[in-house]
Structure formats: C-alpha cells, structure tokens
Structure 1
Amino acid sequence: MHNFLLSLQLKSFTVTSITRHLLAAYSNEFDKKKNAAQYVYRHLKALEHEGIITSLSGESGKAIVFSWSKKCDEDTETQNVLRGPSKINQELLFKIKEKIRRYKAEMLTNMGEAEAYSEWVKEMPDFAEDVKSHYQYTRDQTKLMLGKVKAFERLLVEYETRQ
C-alpha cells in the first residue's frame, strides 16, 4: 500500500480517494467497493501507526484526511535518489503482465469456442452428444485460464506494492 500511495504522488488523501484509485487500478481484486474501502482504511491506519503518514484533524463528521509525515518525505527522497527503479523488478512485472495477457487471450478463445459449440447444439440438437465432450473440455479450460489470470493479477498487485 505504501508504494501504491507513493505512485499516486498525492500530498493529502482520504480513504475514499485512495479507494477510488485502487479500484481503478485493481478492479478485479475486490468484489465490493466496501471491501476495498476496508482494505484501504486498515492499511492507512497501519501506515499511520508506523509514522509514515499522519491524520489531519478535520471537521466532525467529515472524512479523515491523511498526509505524509515529515520523516517519510525525507526518507522517500533519499531512497529514490540512492535506489532508482530496479531492473529486476521491472523485468518481473513485465513477465507477469505478459502471462496475464496470454492467459486472458486463451481464456477468451476458449469462451468463444464454447459459445460456438453451444450455438451448434441449438441449431442441430440431434448432434448434441457429438459436441458435449468438446464443450465440457473448453469450459474447463476457460475456468483454468481464469484461475491463472486471477493468480498472476494477485502476484502483480503484490509485487507492484513492494516497489
């Protein structure tokens, strides 16, 4: 979460604003907006506890506004100058993104194939038995590819937050 916040380059932020950015970048990771907001809140509170961010006093009933602590601003600038982007991390992220693209393409191909079998059965119901095993296989392959996509998307999120 820390690296995700840094990538947004915001001076101050709320749970709602970070949730909006998180859902825009990782919509597949959260099934409900509420889950994303809870995730953001927990991590922002943890960062506040570590002294990385501070909460600003706001009007009662209004959202908590967070900003970077002075210590964190200094540490981040020093680390960025010394470290720079890691070539290994960039290669890793590229490989994961490439796998996601490939598995999504395979998944979409399988979905199209399953739809074609279904269409054929509607047009020619007498041949449903001939198509059944092909249809079942492509559905299973679609589920497998979806699982792989989700797994690599989770890894991508994890590795991107570490950067």
Structure 2
Amino acid sequence: MPNKYDHFELLQLLEELKLPTFTVTEITNLLMLRKHFALENKKNARQFVYRRLKELSIAGEIKRISSPKDKAITYSLNESTQLAKTTDVHSSMSVKKNVSRSLEHALIDKIKECKSDMLNCIGEAEAMKEWSKIEIDLPEEMRNRYRLAREKSAILLGKLSTFESLLEHYQGETHRAT
C-alpha cells in the first residue's frame, strides 16, 4: 500500500467505533466515506483494510472469530485492547448510534463536497454557454470543456442524491434506536 496511508491508524478507528464485531467490507465502507481517506478505488481500500486487519490479528490486537470456512472473515477487538470498555445492557445500542453518527458526519462532508463541485461545474458550463452566444465559433477544446462540465455536473447530481438518501436512512435509524 502507498506510503501516504501508513499514518492512518486503523486500530484507533476500531476502538472509536466500539463495534462488537466487524468485517473487512464493513470497515472498508466506513473508510470510503471518510474525507481524509477518500480513495478513488474501492479495491485498493479493501486491500489496505484486509492487510492492516491481518497485521492487527497477528499482533494480537484483534481476534478472528469466524471459522476458516466462512466467506466473510469476522473480527473483534481483544478485551485487553479496548480502552475503558463498559459492559452494560445498552452497549449494543450505543455502538449502533456511534456508527450511525460517524456515518452521518462522513455523509454530510461528502454532500458538502459534492454540492461545491457541482456548483463549480454548473458555473463553468453556464459561463461557456454564455460565451458561446458572444463567440459563435468556439474552439473545439472549449466545446469539449463545456461538454465535460455538463457531464460532470450530472454525475455529481447523482452522487449528491445518493448521499442525501443514505443520510436520510442513517438519520432514520438513529431516531428509531433512541
């Protein structure tokens, strides 16, 4: 994995989320939503998470709790690794709330980022359209740039609506859990 991700401490994230059990896919999905760990390629993120979880398992920080026959490898934090863990009846509900809040914050960041990018693309496309009314014979490069700005704004609109739907879903879960 590239050096730029060496500083990321996965164990801290796992302790922060207080998940009783987790899989590579769950942690990968959480990381893909985090702004400071935004990877373009989900495959690279999954490989990073898998390798890091394997290292933590070998080091004894986490333990594998699924059998080798299971398709998804399930892990949990070792008791000695968890910081100030309390065992109360409501711990599973608080874990779900923590995960939902973490996802909500990540989704809000993504929504803000998409809105900003989309407005930028729309502005660029509008400026090109306005200029094309003045300068009828636009160079090919400018026409391509106009087309790309429109396409990118359409893609960003799709992402934005998806992130907003996900946010509504997680906010609904949070309200039902309370």
**Structure 1: 4+ residue segments shifted above 4 A:** 107-113, 126-129
Give the direction of change, closer, same or farther, for the CA distance of 1:50–1:28 in structure 2 (3 Å limit): closer
Give the match for residue 58 of structure 1. Answer: 67
Deviations 1:65-91 (A, max 9, x none): 111112212xx228xxxxxxxxxxxxx
Q: How many residues align?
A: 108
Give the direction of change, closer, same or farther, for the CA distance of 1:29–1:121 in structure 2 (3 Å limit): same
Which stretches in structure 1 are left out of the alignment for 5+ residues? 79-100, 140-163
Which stretches in structure 2 are left out of the alignment for 5+ residues? 1-9, 86-111, 150-178
Deviations 1:14-44 (A, max 9, x none): 1011112222334971112211111111111
Q: Is the 8 A contact 1:30 1:36 kept in 2?
A: yes
Question: Are 2:67 and 1:67 aligned?
Answer: no
- Distance in 2 between residues matched to 1:54 and 1:28, nearest whole Å: 24
**Map 1:36-55 → 2, pairs under 5 A:** 36-55=45-64
State percent identity of aligned pairs.
28
Letter in 2 for 1:38: Q
- Distance in 2 between residues matched to 1:43 and 1:127, nearest whole Å: 55
- Distance in 1 between residues matched to 2:50 and 2:21, nearest whole Å: 15
- Distance in 1 between residues matched to 2:76 and 2:32, nearest whole Å: 20
Question: Are 2:34 and 1:25 aligned?
Answer: yes
Q: How high is the TM-score relative to the length of structure 2?
A: 0.47
Q: Which has the higher helix share?
A: 1
Deviations 1:111-150 (A, max 9, x none): 4543333012221225969xx9xx9xxx9xxxxxxxxxxx
Give the direction of change, closer, same or farther, for the CA distance of 1:12–1:123 in structure 2 (3 Å limit): same
Give the match for residue 120 of structure 1. Answer: 130
| SS of residue paired to 1:70 | coil
- RCO higher in 1 or 2 (8 Å CA, sep ≥ 6)? 1
Give the direction of change, closer, same or farther, for the CA distance of 1:23–1:53 in structure 2 (3 Å limit): same
Give the match for residue 84 of structure 2. Answer: 77
Give the direction of change, closer, same or farther, for the CA distance of 1:114–1:31 in structure 2 (3 Å limit): same
- Distance in 2 between residues matched to 1:26 and 1:11, nearest whole Å: 24
- Distance in 2 between residues matched to 1:55 and 1:28, nearest whole Å: 25
Q: Is the 8 A contact 2:63 2:78 kept in 1?
A: yes
Q: Is the 8 A contact 1:121 1:127 kept in 2?
A: no
- Distance in 1 between residues matched to 2:119 and 2:65, nearest whole Å: 51
